[in-house]
Amino acid sequence: MNDLVGPPVPLARNSEMDDRSLVRRLLEVGVAARRRDPEAYARPTDDSDLKSVGAARIANWLETLGGHRMIGDVQPCFTSSGAGFEFQVTEEALRVSSDTPRFEEWLDTIVPSAPEFDLFISYAAGDTAIADELRSDLERVGLRCFMAEKDIQVATEWQDSIRAALIGSKRILVLLTPRSINRPWVLMETGAAWALGKPLIPALSHIAASELLDPMRRYQARLIETTAQRQSLVKELAGSGPKTA
């Protein structure tokens, strides 16, 4: 039986620029613009390294950096390639960027130099048993997985932990069942994976590929309804990219 569902999109799809390089470059162009003119706005589409990065991914990181007081004003704008954004950095960004060791230390808190997890497992609470079994199988082959119920400590700000885990994971595995397919949080994590440029792997149990919504239907899904199907996915994931040490 063929367990491939949907259009053939490789599991190990890589974005053109990794998150750490993207954050660094956004701040570099913003700082350069501000030093030329304190009132100037930086446009990512004017930079050769950033022009190919999607607007949604840029917007996500500008919002994140704004939360860390590195980005001030952000405005929509039109570019030669369509809609985009322009932004200003803050005085804090100028201070941090002027001290290389401090900047690298700060950058480690935003984007770890190496992904902390091989896989982020997105699932609904009603599917905990299935997710836990899948995680155990994945960890037996040496893959490090984030699963919110297991990895978030008591009294932790769980939204921040989930956001950090999404950023610090190489790939996002979405467990989709009749209980989870329309759950808001699963859809939000899926959208975040798309915005961050993370490879997305829909794992289907008792739903059809035709039921998936964008952006999930753009990815090659896997059936995991039987033990053989689940083990096939685990084997594929273990061999589709370098594992962290």
Q: What is the pLDDT of residue 157?
A: 45
CATH number of the domain within which 161 lies: 3.40.50.10140
Here the tokens at position 18 are 């990794």
Residues 231, 193: one domain?
A: yes
Q: Which amino acid is at 171?
A: R
Q: What is the pLDDT of residue 119?
A: 93
pLDDT digits (tens, 9 = 90+) for 76-123: 988 776 678 999 999 999 999 999 888 988 888 887 665 689 999 988
Give the integer Cα–Cα distance in Å for 156 and 111. 19
Residues 145, 218: one domain?
A: yes
**What does the pLDDT average to over 122-132?**
88
Secondary structure, 3-state, the chain: CCCEECCCCCCCCCCCCCHHHHHHHHHHHHHHHHHHCCCCCECHHHCCCCCCCCHHHHHHHHHHHHHCCCEEEEEEEEECCEEEEEEEECHHHHHHHCCHHHHHHHHHHHCCCCCCEEEEEECCHHHHHHHHHHHHHHHHCCCCEECHHHHCCCCCCHHHHHHHHHHCEEEEEEEECCCCCCCHHHHHHHHHHHHCCCCEEEEECCCCHHHCCCCHHHCCEEECCCHHHHHHHHHHHHCCCCCCC
Asked if residue 131 belongs to a domain, the reply is yes
At residue 225, does pLDDT exceed 80? yes
Q: Please, are residues 121 and 145 in contact by the beta-carbon 8 Å criterion?
A: yes
Going by their DSSP bridges, the two strands 71-79 and 82-89 should be labelled as: antiparallel
Asked if residue 9 belongs to a domain, the reply is no
Residues 103, 136: one domain?
A: no
Whole-prediction pTM value? 0.56
Q: For residue 76, give Cα distances in angstroms to 39, 42, 56, 84, 241.
A: 16, 12, 12, 6, 37
Asked if residue 32 belongs to a domain, the reply is yes
Last residue of a domain, one of 79, 110, 141: 110
Last residue of a domain, one of 60, 85, 110: 110
Residues 72, 153: one domain?
A: no
Residues 124, 190: one domain?
A: yes
Q: What is the pLDDT of residue 160?
A: 64
| Cα three-residue angle 14-17-21, rounded to 5 degrees | 135
Give residue 213's pLDDT band: very low, low, confident or very high (50, 70, 90): confident
Asked if residue 86 belongs to a domain, the reply is yes
Q: What is the pLDDT of residue 9?
A: 35
Q: What is the pLDDT of residue 32?
A: 95
**What does the pLDDT average to over 205-217?**
81
Give residue 25's pLDDT band: very low, low, confident or very high (50, 70, 90): very high
Domain that holds residue 193: 114-238
Asked if residue 183 belongs to a domain, the reply is yes
Asked if residue 245 belongs to a domain, the reply is no
Last residue of a domain, one of 110, 129, 155: 110
Asked if residue 14 belongs to a domain, the reply is no
Give residue 15's pLDDT band: very low, low, confident or very high (50, 70, 90): very low
Give the integer Cα–Cα distance in Å for 67 and 44. 19
Residues 156, 169: one domain?
A: yes
Residues 27, 138: one domain?
A: no
Residues 227, 129: one domain?
A: yes
Q: What is the pLDDT of residue 204?
A: 94
Q: What is the pLDDT of residue 41?
A: 95
**What does the pLDDT average to over 61-78?**
92
Asked if residue 1 belongs to a domain, the reply is no
Residues 106, 118: one domain?
A: no
